[in-house]
Amino acid sequence: MSDYSNLIIGFGKAGKTLAKTLATRGESTMVVEKEASRYGGTCINVACIPTKILEHKARERRSDDDAAAWYANAVTEKNAKTAALRAANYKMLIDAGVAVENAAASFVDEHTVRLAYIDGHSRNVTADRIYINTGSYSFVPELPGIKDNRYIYTSTSLMDRTELPKSLVIVGGGYIGLEFASYYRNFGSEVTLLHKGSDFIPREDKDITAAVLESFEKRGIKIVFNSDVLGFDGPNVNYSVNGEKQTIKADAILIAIGRRANTRGLELQNAGVNLNSRGEIAVDENLRTSQKNIFAMGDVKGGLQFTYISLDDFRILTQNGRTTANRGAIPYTIFLDPPVSRVGLSESEARNAGFDVKVKLLPANKIPKTLILEQREGVLKAIVDNATGQILGAHLFCANSEEVINLIKLAMDMKVPYTHLRDSIFNHPTVTEGLNDLFAM
């Protein structure tokens, strides 16, 4: 007989939600999290919540506010709020009857996990079903001068720095790098972003990326394209552009070249759990791994690294018929100033797929609410199937786009034709009412 019906490794969104549900059903359940500082998972502690707190506080700062003091207070506020969320999440599981252990977990076999505690002792725990929800981590490459360099930060460690860097160099032009460039520029840092490629935000359509690039340039964010980082010498970043070596000095250097599935130390081979070619845990559409009683949820299984995907993984494990194949349209947002949001196909993807499309672009400043919000930059874009009237995709670079995109996602999932958004009565003044004009094709 096993010690528990369910053992969940990792206190992330899917893990904690599943743990509470299973325990409420009367199933014995344990959650293992290596550190109490990670209760609640990546989103609460190092990603969605703390970054958006800083993003909000950065946009609130006026030009006559003391930048250093404002930033220090923002970090203090961020720490207080995330600590409160950690405590609330821990209490939620304890109140539901979940056993919570702080230990490093590794597999002994398909039903047994070894828990290694910080004081040096360890023990084995058995379970009928095991769920892996260990998330992802910031990848830091092995480059000369990077090890033990006090100027080097990840997205996690930079947010714990209470001193605002006067100059910040960001290595990496992906979504995380772009967001931090926006936050810290608003706080008052001089920001330089070293982007390895020549395409800016390559997943998005060129008319959207051109508008974002223009916005960054107006704000004084410097982007160096085709840059290849060679190494570091303390605060100096050595890089080359088209073979020409250059150096830039910074108070802080953020490495933001991506995140990797956190399978470190799990000893998955002992349980017969396979990885895919990218080093992520391979799962089927029901999140089952190569071992029938072991499942993987959230970032560790690969795919889109969003907390709402992790939450939907919980639904897949608890709702009959729900799979990774029928999630519907998945929206996402790059939290810039203003934010960039997207759902569905880009124009190029739609045309390449053979759709006869009609496209509409709407300048954000045509929407009255952007005047009120003093965020007039941006452009909205809609892609519609000319044959059926179905919405194929939308790209919103505008104020409040992170909210408005959800309405378009719902319309797409419900197969509502674009004319419904064109003719709907929306509250005024809102950014949402801009959809009337966006879909007036």
Strands 294-296 and 122-132, sheet pairing: parallel
Closest CA to 395 of 332, 303, 309, 440: 332
pLDDT, residue 361, reads 98
pLDDT, residue 276, reads 97
Q: What is the pLDDT of residues 336-387, one digit of tens each?
A: 999 999 999 999 999 999 999 999 999 999 999 999 999 999 999 999 999 9
DSSP per-residue codes, 307-367: HHHHHHHHHHHHSTT--GGG-----EEE--SS-EEEEE--HHHHHHTT--EEEEEEEGGGS
Q: Are 328 and 412 in contact (CB under 8 A)?
A: yes
- What is d(CA 424, CA 376) in angstroms, rounded to the nearest whole number? 23
pLDDT, residue 267, reads 98
pLDDT, residue 379, reads 98
Computed over every residue of the chain, the mean pLDDT equals 97
- The answer to whether residue 121 is catalytic is no
Q: Are 279 and 267 in contact (CB under 8 A)?
A: no
pLDDT, residue 142, reads 96
Looking at the chain, how many residues does it have? Answer: 441
Q: Is 409 helix (H, G, I), strand (E, B) or coil?
A: helix
pLDDT, residue 332, reads 98
Q: What is the pLDDT of residues 36-68, one digit of tens each?
A: 999 999 999 999 999 999 999 999 999 889 999
Q: Where do the H-state alpha helices sit in 12-66?
A: 13-24, 42-45, 48-60
pLDDT, residue 191, reads 98
What is the number of other CB atoms lying within 10 angstroms of the CB of residue 35? Answer: 12
Residue spans per domain, the chain: 4-137+259-326, 152-255, 332-438
Going by pLDDT thresholds of 50, 70 and 90, the confidence category of residue 282 is very high
pLDDT, residue 37, reads 94
- What mean pLDDT do residues 109-121 have? 97
Considering the candidates 56, 121, 195, 428, report the single residue annotated as catalytic: 428
Q: How many helices (H) and strands (E) does the chain have?
A: 13, 22
Does the domain at 4-137+259-326 match CATH 3.50.50.60? Answer given as yes
Give CA angle at 397 (413, 260), nearest 5°. Answer: 75
What is the number of other CB atoms lying within 10 angstroms of the CB of residue 79? Answer: 15
At 10, phi and psi to the nearest 5?
115, 135
Is the backbone peptide bond immediately before 429 cis, with ω within 30 degrees of 0?
A: yes
Strands (E), 34-163: 99-102, 104-109, 112-116, 122-132, 136-138, 152-153
- What mean pLDDT do residues 267-274 have? 98
Going by pLDDT thresholds of 50, 70 and 90, the confidence category of residue 107 is very high
- What mean pLDDT do residues 308-326 have? 96
Q: What is the pLDDT of residues 13-39, one digit of tens each?
A: 999 999 999 999 999 999 999 999 999
Q: Are 176 and 332 in contact (CB under 8 A)?
A: no
- What is d(CA 170, CA 263) in angstroms, rounded to the nearest whole number? 26
pLDDT, residue 407, reads 98
- What is d(CA 191, CA 181) in angstroms, rounded to the nearest whole number? 6
- What mean pLDDT do residues 290-298 have? 98
At 122, phi and psi to the nearest 5?
-145, 165
pLDDT, residue 127, reads 98
For the chain, the first-to-last Cα distance in angstroms comes to: 64
Q: What is the pLDDT of residues 64-102, one digit of tens each?
A: 899 999 999 999 999 999 999 999 999 999 999 999 999
- What is d(CA 151, CA 251) in angstroms, rounded to the nearest whole number? 7
- Give domain 332-438's CATH number out of 3.40.50.880, 3.40.50.2300, 3.30.390.30, 1.10.10.10: 3.30.390.30
Domains 152-255 and 332-438 share a fold: no
pLDDT-above-70 percentage for the chain = 100
Closest CA to 301 of 288, 311, 292: 288
Going by pLDDT thresholds of 50, 70 and 90, the confidence category of residue 300 is very high
- What is d(CA 146, CA 250) in angstroms, rounded to the nearest whole number? 14
Going by pLDDT thresholds of 50, 70 and 90, the confidence category of residue 312 is very high
Going by pLDDT thresholds of 50, 70 and 90, the confidence category of residue 205 is very high
pLDDT, residue 44, reads 95
Q: What is the pLDDT of residues 220-267, one digit of tens each?
A: 999 999 999 999 999 999 999 999 999 999 999 999 999 999 999 999
Going by pLDDT thresholds of 50, 70 and 90, the confidence category of residue 145 is very high
- Write down the residue that tokens 């004319």 correspond to: 419
Going by pLDDT thresholds of 50, 70 and 90, the confidence category of residue 274 is very high
| CATH architecture label of 152-255 | 3-Layer(bba) Sandwich (3.50)
Q: Is 378 helix (H, G, I), strand (E, B) or coil?
A: coil
